[in-house]
């Protein structure tokens, strides 16, 4: 089945016959994705709450491996990100069978990558020994690591592939429905497996896997239902998969996101090393700004869909216009929310500290200051996210990945060390040390956000993506 859509995505024709961006249509796609990102954050907090009921040691165990797990999942999960780009471009071209073919290709790629997830799970022991953790923390971390990576990793990637398909065809409410279902079943599974079945901390990892299995079954049922079969020929296109294209596009996506996350992990670790107050204030600020960041990702993902569908329809000029609109929305939302959070800082930050703690006033004061720096960060992070995800929609992923890796490891990480630690402190001694503490580290973080946001925006504005074929 083929045939071009009657109207380009998010396009309306005004009374003068001029094509304009229909922001209502943009929000209809972005709104469920913003809600979906928020539900994801709630799901993560649910896991943390159940683990916290076990012990402080269990919480520390999860914290010790959380970033490493996330980076591995994102790195291997690039094929899931690629599904949305390929689906959106096929859908925009009216090649509906090709759109479902992208989903089957992603599922096959996820199956191929399962041994990589299992192999990474076996590396958990050696990795944890390098951290020189307390033996009990190390034991608990390894118990959580295995099911969370070896089982939940491939299942989560498969869910990601199918929700990428639904995002690509503009059915973002389906993605939200699947995520909400997983969040709902995740809580009782945690209670059952951690406490009643006696699995302990490993039960949280198995609960995640169980929730993702239910989400996968649900997403597959919707992918193969009568509506999808009729329009996308979903039961038939599995016989002509294109896994190599999926992996070729997905690997740079995963690498770019992983580079950014590793930079963030090292940034937070250095501030924790500098002082407990700096680490605690930074953690509070990061959690608060997720109100900006998570819905902002939803807006950016909508950009991937709209740009991809426009390019598939052969309208690269319109792809540029609708991409610019999406980038503007991401910047506006994240910037306004960042300023509102910063203005509320003196009232919000104290809610996350124990008044009986001797350091509580110092943490609250520093956190309120850092929120203003984070507000500036959010503006340019909106530019970064909006530009990066629009470039994904166009299939322009290699140069952005290089830019992110270079700025993260060549600018953000070393300069955070330089501006945070005083002479004689820090992790290494061969770098200069200016000793500006948390404010110095966050100043570098803002500089990184400005540099990355502008670099990706200039890449988008250059139009180099117009000549890319995926």
pLDDT digits (tens, 9 = 90+) for 366-417: 999 999 999 999 999 999 999 999 999 999 999 999 999 999 999 999 999 9
**Are 32 and 171 spatial neighbours (Cβ–Cβ below 8 Å)?**
no
Band (14; pLDDT cuts 50, 70, 90): confident
How far, rounded to the nearest angstrom, does the alpha carbon of residue 406 sit from its chain's CA centroid? Answer: 19
Q: How many CB atoms lie within 10 A of CB 312?
A: 27
Q: State residue 7's pLDDT score.
A: 67
Residue of 396, 66, 395, 42 whose CA lies nearest to 205:
66
Q: What angle do CA 182, 147, 293 make, to 5 degrees?
A: 50
How far, rounded to the nearest angstrom, does the alpha carbon of residue 227 sit from its chain's CA centroid? Answer: 30
Band (58; pLDDT cuts 50, 70, 90): confident
Q: Is the pLDDT of residue 301 over 90?
A: yes
Q: Is the pLDDT of residue 81 over 70?
A: yes
- Integer-rounded Cα Rg, in Å, for the chain is 22
Q: What is the dihedral of CA 82, 88, 93, 98, to 10 degrees?
A: 60
**Are 401 and 253 spatial neighbours (Cβ–Cβ below 8 Å)?**
yes
Q: Is the pLDDT of residue 321 over 50?
A: yes
Here the contacts of 313-316 (C-beta below 8 Å, separation 24 or greater) are: 313/4, 313/5, 313/8, 313/9, 313/92, 313/93, 313/94, 314/93, 315/8, 316/466
Band (1; pLDDT cuts 50, 70, 90): very low
Report CA-CA distances (Å) from 409 to 110, 238, 266, 350, 453: 29, 40, 10, 33, 16
Residue 371 CB partners (closer than 8 Å, separation 6+)? 285, 288, 289, 341, 342, 345, 348, 349
276: its two tokens: 């407990």
Q: Kindly report the backbone phi and psi dihedral angles of residue 429, in degrees, each rounded to the nearest multiple of 5, phi listed first.
A: -110, -5
Band (316; pLDDT cuts 50, 70, 90): very high
Section 315-329 average pLDDT:
96
Q: State residue 93's pLDDT score.
A: 94
Q: State residue 228's pLDDT score.
A: 93
C-alpha atoms less than 13 angstroms from C-alpha of 421 in its C-beta half-sphere: 24
Distance, CA of 362 to CA of 397 (rounded, Å): 42
Section 225-252 average pLDDT:
87
Section 165-184 average pLDDT:
96
Among 275-279, 316-320, 325-329, 441-445, whose mean pLDDT is lowest? Answer: 275-279
Q: State residue 5's pLDDT score.
A: 44
The kind and range of the H/E element at 166 are helix 152-168
For the chain, percent of residues with pLDDT exceeding 90: 71
Q: Is the pLDDT of residue 241 over 60?
A: yes
How far, rounded to the nearest angstrom, does the alpha carbon of residue 31 sit from its chain's CA centroid? Answer: 17
The DSSP 8-state label assigned to residue 429 in this structure reads S
Distance, CA of 287 to CA of 7 (rounded, Å): 40
The kind and range of the H/E element at 77 are none
Average pLDDT, the chain: 91
Q: What angle do CA 298, 170, 89 make, to 5 degrees?
A: 100
355: its two tokens: 């008044």
């Amino acid at each position: 089945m083929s045939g071009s859509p009657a109207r380009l995505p998010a396009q309306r024709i005004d009374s003068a016959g001029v094509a304009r961006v229909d922001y209502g249509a943009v929000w209809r796609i972005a709104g469920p994705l913003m809600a979906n990102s928020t539900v994801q954050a709630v799901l993560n907090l649910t896991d943390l709450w159940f683990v916290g009921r076990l012990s402080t040691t269990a919480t520390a165990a999860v914290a010790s491996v959380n970033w490493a797990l996330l980076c591995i999942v994102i790195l291997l999960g690039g094929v899931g990100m690629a599904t949305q780009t390929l689906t959106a471009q096929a859908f925009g071209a009216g090649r509906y069978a090709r759109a479902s073919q992208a989903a089957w290709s992603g599922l096959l790629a996820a199956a191929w990558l399962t041994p990589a997830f299992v192999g990474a799970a076996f590396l958990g022991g050696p990795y944890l020994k390098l951290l020189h953790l307390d033996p009990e923390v190390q034991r608990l971390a390894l118990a959580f690591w295995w099911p969370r990576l070896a089982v939940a990793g491939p299942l989560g990637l498969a869910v990601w592939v199918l929700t990428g398909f639904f995002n690509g065809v503009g059915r973002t409410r389906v993605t939200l429905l699947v995520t909400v279902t997983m969040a709902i079943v995740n809580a009782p599974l945690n209670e059952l497996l951690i406490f009643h079945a006696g699995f302990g901390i490993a039960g949280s990892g198995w609960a995640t896997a169980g929730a993702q299995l239910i989400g996968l079954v649900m997403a597959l049922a919707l992918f193969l239902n009568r509506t999808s079969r009729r329009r996308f020929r979903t039961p038939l296109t599995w016989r002509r998969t294109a896994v190599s294209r999926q992996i070729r596009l997905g690997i740079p996506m995963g690498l770019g996101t992983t580079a950014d996350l590793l930079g963030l992990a090292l940034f937070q670790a250095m501030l924790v090393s500098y002082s407990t107050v700096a680490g605690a204030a930074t953690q509070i600020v990061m959690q608060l700004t997720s109100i900006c960041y998570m819905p902002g990702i939803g807006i950016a993902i909508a950009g991937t869909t709209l740009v991809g569908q426009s390019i598939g329809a052969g309208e690269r000029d319109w792809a540029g216009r609708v991409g610019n609109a999406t980038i503007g929305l991401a910047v506006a939302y994240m910037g306004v929310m960042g300023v509102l959070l910063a203005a509320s800082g003196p009232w919000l930050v104290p809610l996350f500290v124990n008044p009986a703690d001797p350091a509580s006033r110092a943490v609250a004061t520093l956190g309120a200051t850092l929120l203003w720096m984070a507000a500036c960060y959010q503006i340019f992070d909106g530019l970064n996210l909006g530009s990066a995800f629009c470039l994904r929609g166009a299939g322009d992923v290699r140069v952005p990945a290089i830019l992110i890796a270079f700025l993260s490891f060549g600018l953000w990480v070393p300069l955070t060390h330089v501006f945070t630690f005083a002479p004689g402190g820090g992790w290494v001694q061969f770098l200069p040390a200016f000793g500006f503490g948390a404010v110095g580290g966050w100043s570098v973080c803002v500089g990184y956000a400005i540099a990355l946001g502008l670099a990706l925006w200039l890449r988008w504005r250059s139009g180099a993506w117009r000549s890319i074929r995926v």
